Each structure stands twice: as structure tokens, then as C-alpha cells.
Structure 1
Amino acid sequence: MKRILITGANSYIGTNFATYLAQPEFAGKYQVDTLDMVGVAWKSFDFSPYDAVYHVAGIAHSDNGKISDERAKIYYAVNTDLTIVCAQRAKDAGVKQFVFMSSAIVYGDSAPIGKSKIITRDTPVNPANCYGDSKVQAENGLRQLDCDTFKVVILRPPMIFGKYSKGNYPLLSKLARKLPVFPKVDNCRSMLYIGNLVEFVRLMIENEEQGTFWPQNPQYSNTSEVIAQIAKAHGKRCVLIPGFGWALKILSHATGLVNKAFGNLAYDQSLSVYKEPYQKYSLQEAIERTEK
């Protein structure tokens, strides 16, 4: 039996992972506990009984525009410093593996509408803000702890979505359910359904992996098509209207939200191939499961 500690209570990803491993098909294979990382009480926690730590504690990027110095300090304190201290304690206690949730944000913002951004294994990190840099600095600190007896796994997922997820997807869902028409824009984005992510993490721990990984869905996403598929999942029809690309390009100079929604950011599919299948759900299946 693998003993797994999720560090970070009540997180969307951690909760879904614990629920996934509690399914009857995994009975007797995993013992999963969760540790609240708020405050200082966790520092007296005994990590020694665990084979792996899955670290999901962190502050997600929810700021638009310039981030204050005080807010930046919080990003580094939680996303960087807390991660490294937690990993060091796990290593000192004899834990064999540490799985860290980084993000595609380490590569910077999406490319503007009309410009491609395909990330390969050779693409250097290039964070555009302190949130991205806090993840990069955490990765750098974890690599210093990485060794044969303490295997560090760094995951750089793209946008994660699923039922009750936060972030951009709920906004797209809301628009799809209300709008009868929507701009048709040709963009390319990598996304990751929560059901595919939890299986990938399970395989990382089951196979005692080590290194950096880039999980994603088996198909790329197009924002306009995602809107249409969400509408269809609700028995509605959203007509995609071409010819709005120029207007969105102009609007993108006024707000970064346009490129965040319609820009391009994708992983080369070969980057996400793993020796065992983890992409259990296609994009269409993932949207249907999320919406229904």
C-alpha cells in the first residue's frame, strides 16, 4: 500500500485526487491523508509514515494588472518558501517522493491573437509576473533537494478544468449558456481535465517517477469550439460568427483578458506522452462530464 500525504487542505486538485483514489477499484492500494498548511501547526507533523507527498498548497494567480509589493511577497512566501520548507521536512523524515504542482505559467503569458506559441522540451522558462516566477523559484529550490532517495516530480499543467473548478473555464461556461452567438477565433490552447490529471498523478506516484512532466488533454482546445461544445452539453446552440478577429486584436491592447481567452499557448503533444495511458477522457467527454 502506498501512503500518500496531500499537503494543502480543501484545494480543488487535492480534493479531487483524494476522491479519485478512494474509488473501489483502488481499494487497499492507497492510504491518503491531507495536511492543512495554514499557520504553523503543520511544522510539528510527522511526515515519516508516508511514501509520497503531493504538494498542492499555493496561491493561484487571480490578480489583474500590476501586483503590489506586499502581494508579491505573499506569492513568494507561499508558492516558493513554503514549498521548499515542506519538501525539506519531508526529505528529512525519509519520504521517498515529492510531487509539486507547478504551472504552464512559468513560460509566460499566452501569445497574442494570430501568433503561435507551441512549447517544447527546449523552451526556456520566461515568467511574466511574480506568480510565474514564484513557481520557477520553487522548482529551482526543489531540484536542489532532488536525489535518488528523494525523487522530485514537477508538474507543469496547462489550464485545469472540471466540475466546480475555478479560473477561466467557469466564465466560458457562463457565456456559453447565455449567448446565442460567439466570435469564431482560430486559436490553439492546451487544457487538462481534472479526471485526466488525477490519473496522471496516480501514475507518477505508483511508478515512483522523477523529473519534469507536462500532462495535457489528448486534443488541443479552441476557445470558440469549447464555447460551442459547452452550449451543446446544455442542449443549446451557440452560433460561431467569423470576422471578429480584428476587433479582438484591437480590444487586446486595452485588456489582457482577451489574449488570456483567445491567445495561443500549447504544449507540443509529444511532450505529454507517457508510458502508460492517462488521458482517459477526450475534450468532448470532459466538457460533458463537467457540465452535466
Structure 2
Amino acid sequence: MKKVLITGANSYIGMSFDKYVSEHYNSQLSVETVDMIDGSWRQKDFSLYDIVYHVAGIAHADVGNVSDDVKAKYYAVNTDLAIETCKKAKSEGVKQFVFMSSAIVYGDSAPYGTQKRITKDTEPTPANFYGDSKWQADKGVRELADDSFIVTVLRPPMIYGKGSKGNYPTLAKMAKKLIIFPNVQNERSMLYIENLCEFLCEFLCQVMIRGEAGLFWPQNSEYTRTSDMVKKIAEVCGHKIFVSRAWNWVVGLAKVIPGKPRGLANKAFGNLSYDQSMSHYDFEYIVADLKSSIERTEG
């Protein structure tokens, strides 16, 4: 049985992974969690664990008019803490370090009407301090890898599921309240939380045996269109919503208004997807398609 230490208590991903392991992989993985807030984690003995899974971080940044102190906090938590944790894991004999990076390292979504398809050859180009804080950590932890210390970096797209934060709850609120919604032909990669947890369990149980490191891009097996997701959420919740291209002019208008309207339009209806070939591995990790993932999330 492999012993996994999750660094980052009360995080959505960490708690979801812990629960998933207890329900599906408790004979293969043993999971413990340590809080990273007060600094007491520095006294914890990492040598007791085979794997350190680092999920601590600050997400969902408001990247508008923020102070230098706020930006410094993002670098302190997202970059410095991650690298310090990785160094501690390495110095205390941990075999593998897994770091949760993000698609945010590739910058913002492409504007409404413009495609953005990421491949393995796409170079990260963070658009703001939040993305750069993750990118600096992404690079920093990989520099610590060697023949006896495996460093794995995951760059998932938007993660959603029951209890998730960020964009999904906003879409769900609209799906449950609005009567009409634009039918914009956008394309986004997303990752349902249980698909991520299954990926991690299969990876830690099987891939680590072969000593594989490097970058991984797990995602759902199908791309998501914002209008389709809103329609599916409404259906699951028993709410009628009419999705029509007749209302696309609203998005088009918001797109050309500087400031918040443009930002919201691009965030909701922009394009950002991973090439599907990046996410195919020699193990299966898709436990729920888009429809069933929404049913599980809203159920």
C-alpha cells in the first residue's frame, strides 16, 4: 500500500481525492492530509510517505486592480510554498512529488469567436500574476527532479463537481434561473472531479511503478460548449431554458464593451481546449461523461 500525504487541508481537490480513495482505492492507497497555513507542516516527517500530493494554493484571482501586496501573496503561496514543499519532500526521501498546476499557465481563454487549441508543443504564456505564480512553481518543482525523485505536474483545465467553486457554480445559477440563453459555438476542455480522482488513483497505483514523471493533461473525453452545459444543468434540475442563437448578439455586444462586460463574455463564451491526444494514457480514468457528471454534481 502506498502512503500519500496531501499538502493542503480543506482544499476542494484534496478533500475530494481523500474521499474518493476511501470509497474506491482504500486497499491500495493510504491518504493523510496536512494543513499548510500555520507553518507547523515544516515539522512533519515526510519520510513516512511514498508520495506527496501538493494541492495548496490560491485560486480564482481577481486580476483587476489589485495591490502589490496581494500579488506578493499569490507568489508566496502558489510559487514559494510549492517549491519549499517539494524540496522538503526530496530531502526526506519521498519517492514522488505531484504538483497541481493549471491550464491558467497558458493564459486566458481566446476571445469569443476565436479558437485556442493547446498541444504538447504550446509554450505557457501566463496572462497575469495568478497564472505566472502557478507557472513559476510548475517550472520550479520540475527542476528538482532526478533519477531518485519523481516529479509529476498536472495541468488540468477547469475542474467542476459537487461543491466546486469558480465558474461552474455561476453557470449553474444562470441555468436554474434564466429562461433564455445564447447558443454560442465555443469549445472548452473541462475535467469532472471524479475523473480527476480516478486519474490520480490509477496514476499513483500503476504509473509510478514505471517511474514516469513529467507533464500530464487529464481532461474529460468530450469538449464542452457553454450553452450545452447550461442546458444540461437546467434539464437535470427540472428547469426549462430556451437556448437560441437569436440571443448571440448580446454576447457579441458585451465582447466589444471594454472592462467587465468584455471580460465576462470571454470568460463564459471564450475558447480554450486541449488537443484530446494529450490526454490519452494507457489506463482509463473517465468514470462519468458530461451528462452523468452534471447529474452527479446537481443530484
**TM-score of the aligned structures, taking structure 1 as reference length:** 0.97
Match among 249, 261, 283 for residue 276 of structure 1: 283
Alignment-mate amino acid for residue 36 of structure 1? D
| Alignment correspondent of 2:172 | 173
Gaps of 5+ in 2: none
Going from structure 1 to structure 2, the CA distance change for 1:136 and 1:266 (only over 3 Å counts) comes to same
Kindly state the Cα deviation for residue 62 of structure 1 after the two structures are TM-superposed.
Answer: 2.8
Q: Give the distance between the partners of 1:283 and 1:77, measured in 2 at CA.
A: 36
| Alignment correspondent of 2:229 | 226
**Secondary structure of 1:31's match?**
strand
Kindly state the Cα deviation for residue 165 of structure 1 after the two structures are TM-superposed.
Answer: 0.5
Match among 244, 247, 269 for residue 247 of structure 2: 244
Cα deviation 1:245-292 (Å, max 9, x = unaligned):
343133123321110110000001111111100011101110111011
| Alignment correspondent of 1:257 | 264
Alignment-mate amino acid for residue 214 of structure 2? G
Gaps of 5+ in 1: none
| Alignment correspondent of 2:94 | 95
**Secondary structure of 2:71's match?**
helix
Q: How does 1:117-196 map to 2 (within 5 A)?
A: 117-196=116-195
**Secondary structure of 1:145's match?**
coil
**Secondary structure of 1:81's match?**
helix
**Secondary structure of 1:32's match?**
strand
What do you get for the CA RMSD once the two structures are aligned?
1.1
Q: Give the distance between the partners of 1:171 and 1:105, measured in 2 at CA.
A: 19
Alignment-mate amino acid for residue 238 of structure 2? G
**Secondary structure of 1:281's match?**
coil
**Secondary structure of 2:196's match?**
helix
Cα deviation 1:144-186 (Å, max 9, x = unaligned):
1011211111100000000010001001111111112111111
Q: Give the distance between the partners of 1:95 and 1:67, measured in 2 at CA.
A: 37
Q: Give the distance between the partners of 1:26 and 1:214, measured in 2 at CA.
A: 22
Q: How does 1:32-71 map to 2 (within 5 A)?
A: 32-71=31-70
Q: Give the distance between the partners of 1:278 and 1:39, measured in 2 at CA.
A: 35
Cα deviation 1:71-118 (Å, max 9, x = unaligned):
110010000000000000000000000110000000000001110000
Cα deviation 1:28-65 (Å, max 9, x = unaligned):
21111000000221111100010001100000023142
Moved runs in structure 1, 4+ residues, more than 4 A? none
| Alignment correspondent of 1:6 | 6
Alignment-mate amino acid for residue 167 of structure 1? G
**Secondary structure of 1:37's match?**
coil
**Secondary structure of 2:31's match?**
strand
Q: Give the distance between the partners of 1:117 and 1:244, measured in 2 at CA.
A: 23
The range that moved more, 80-89 or 246-255, is: 246-255
**Secondary structure of 1:22's match?**
helix
Q: Give the distance between the partners of 2:169 and 2:63, measured in 1 at CA.
A: 17
**Secondary structure of 1:235's match?**
coil
Aligned residues: 291
Q: Give the distance between the partners of 1:175 and 1:210, measured in 2 at CA.
A: 40
The range that moved more, 146-155 or 1-10, is: 146-155
CA contact (8 A) 2:151 2:214 kept: yes
Q: Give the distance between the partners of 2:63 and 2:130, measured in 1 at CA.
A: 12
**TM-score of the aligned structures, taking structure 2 as reference length:** 0.95
Q: Give the distance between the partners of 1:67 and 1:215, measured in 2 at CA.
A: 32
Q: Give the distance between the partners of 1:59 and 1:219, measured in 2 at CA.
A: 28
| Alignment correspondent of 2:273 | 266
Going from structure 1 to structure 2, the CA distance change for 1:133 and 1:7 (only over 3 Å counts) comes to same
Q: Give the distance between the partners of 1:112 and 1:217, measured in 2 at CA.
A: 22
Kindly state the Cα deviation for residue 66 of structure 1 after the two structures are TM-superposed.
Answer: 2.9
**Secondary structure of 2:3's match?**
strand
**Secondary structure of 2:265's match?**
helix
**Secondary structure of 1:244's match?**
helix
